[in-house]
Amino acid sequence: MRLQERLQKELDDLRLADQFRFLRQLTPEGINSRLDGRLLLNLSSNDYLGLNAWPQLRREFYERMEHTADDAFALSATSSRLLTGNHPGYMQLEAAVSKLYNNRESLVFNSGYHANVGILPALTSRRDLILSDKLNHASIIDGIRLSEAEFKRYPHLDFDRLEAVLGRLRHKYDNVIIITESVFSMDGVVADLSRLVELKEKYDALLVVDEAHGVGVFGEQGCGVCEEQGLIDRIDIIIGTFGKAFCSAGAYAIMNKLFRDYLINKMRSLIFTTGLPPVVVNWSRFVLEKTVKMQQNRLHLQSLAEKLREGIRAAGGKTGGESQIVPYISGSNTAAVKLAERLREAGLLVFPIRPPTVPRGSSRVRFSLTAAMTEQDIERILEIL
């Protein structure tokens, strides 16, 4: 079959299954977004602390930056970090991140995707085994596929099954890496990292935790679930992102010096890409300084999420989780598509979440809350539902 014919058939099949995706043009306006001329409450962003709806924060950043060198505003690093792209902002940002994580080593990347597709292939060989939670993000799966290591997926948060695999297979491999998310982005479920730490220590494994949806939201300083559960120093590699709660771009990993040095020398998605623009890196450091002090915002966000979950359950809906991400599970693709359409008509910006992002039969709309919202916003959502 010619390539064009095969591609067209696959797209037609996606349309028939209500899984066809397309890009929309949206204009953010505070906690709302304008879509097709209508202003809708934005319940689909990852702006968990509501910083994007805080224009005075951007003004303060630019006013402060006016007193620094002009190159702090540069819009391109013009090179990879290992050539001439490692501008001073990187050193300052990594120092700030390290300080938050008990002075452990940190390394900044262009995105969480860059981190996840680069770290595992760099650190593993064909004599190693990777054990991954079945619902881990696609970027983690892609990183596993790019590695030479063998891998197995354990049932979602089933640590007894994970331990059974470790007990049966650990002795066959030089190294075993367990990898998980801390907050699972489609369910809003928080992993019991203390249990994973116990397993990795018992079976001489390494533990990698992706905190993409945990940083900024959990912990006294916003360092994530690892801070909330008191485990910063016992997790081998912690991955965080600047692109969600911190309202910037890029990502980072916390680790020991040996791992950091090795990744700088071997991690392809770090070595072979242009660095982040200085203005973005400096913005990330500026925001980081602010969010450390936003514990009341974090508590407010969790209160809003719990109010929404309770309201959905009281109305007979199916939901779950214990984070700022609140799913409303409808089941079929068609039901999720129609529900999302009706909610958008009523003024709520939500989209259907369908396979392969979630398992078959569990399609849903997902309410992604921000600390800039109020209890009145939650009451409005529940009234519409």
- pLDDT tens for the chain, 385 residues: list them: 699 999 999 999 999 988 888 898 999 999 999 999 999 999 999 999 999 989 899 999 988 877 766 688 889 999 999 999 999 999 999 999 999 999 999 999 999 999 999 999 999 999 999 999 999 999 999 999 999 999 999 999 999 999 999 999 999 999 999 999 999 999 999 999 999 999 999 999 999 999 999 999 999 999 999 999 999 999 999 999 999 999 999 999 999 999 999 999 999 999 999 999 999 999 999 999 999 999 999 999 999 999 999 999 999 999 999 999 999 999 888 999 999 999 999 999 999 998 888 888 889 999 999 999 999 999 999 999 9
Q: How many residues in the chain?
A: 385
pLDDT of residue 69: 65
Active-site option among 94, 128, 210, 227: 210
Query: Among this protein's residues, is 210 annotated catalytic?
Result: yes
Query: Among this protein's residues, is 171 annotated catalytic?
Result: no
Does residue 200 lie within any of the structural domains? yes
Describe the crossing of helices 375-384 and 295-314 by its angle, rounded to 10 degrees.
20
Does residue 14 lie within any of the structural domains? no
Distance CA 240, CA 253 (A): 6
pLDDT of residue 64: 81
Active-site option among 114, 200, 213, 290: 213
Burial class (CB in 10 A: 0-12, 13-18, 19+), 27: exposed
Active-site option among 185, 282, 323, 362: 185
User: Do 312 and 268 fall into the same domain?
Assistant: no
Active-site option among 47, 181, 187, 211: 181
Closest CA to 244 of 35, 43, 52: 52
User: Do 327 and 258 fall into the same domain?
Assistant: no
Active-site option among 42, 46, 52, 363: 46
Q: Take residue 360 and report the two structure tokens written for it.
A: 């078959």
User: Do 203 and 239 fall into the same domain?
Assistant: yes
Final residue in a domain of this structure, among 291, 318, 349? 291
Q: Tens digit of pLDDT for each residue in 36-77?
A: 999 999 999 999 999 998 989 999 998 887 776 668 888 999
List the CATH number of the domain containing 341: 3.90.1150.10
Final residue in a domain of this structure, among 255, 271, 291? 291
Active-site option among 87, 244, 290, 300: 244
In this structure, are residues 213 and 204 in contact, taking their beta carbons and an 8 Å threshold?
no
pTM value is: 0.95
User: Do 162 and 43 fall into the same domain?
Assistant: no
Does residue 85 lie within any of the structural domains? yes
Active-site option among 137, 200, 290, 300: 137
Give the 3-state secondary structure percentages of the chain, helix then strand then coil, rounded to 5: 45, 20, 40
User: Do 76 and 156 fall into the same domain?
Assistant: yes
Please state, as a whole number, how many other Cβ atoms lie within 10 Å of the Cβ of residue 42: 25
List the CATH number of the domain containing 176: 3.40.640.10
Number of domains in the chain: 2
Query: Among this protein's residues, is 18 annotated catalytic?
Result: no
Q: Take residue 124 and report the two structure tokens written for it.
A: 């593993």
User: Do 98 and 234 fall into the same domain?
Assistant: yes
User: Do 28 and 136 fall into the same domain?
Assistant: no
pLDDT of residue 158: 98
Domain residues for the domain of 351 are 24-49+295-384
* 370-to-31, 49, 165 alpha-carbon distances in Å: 8, 5, 38
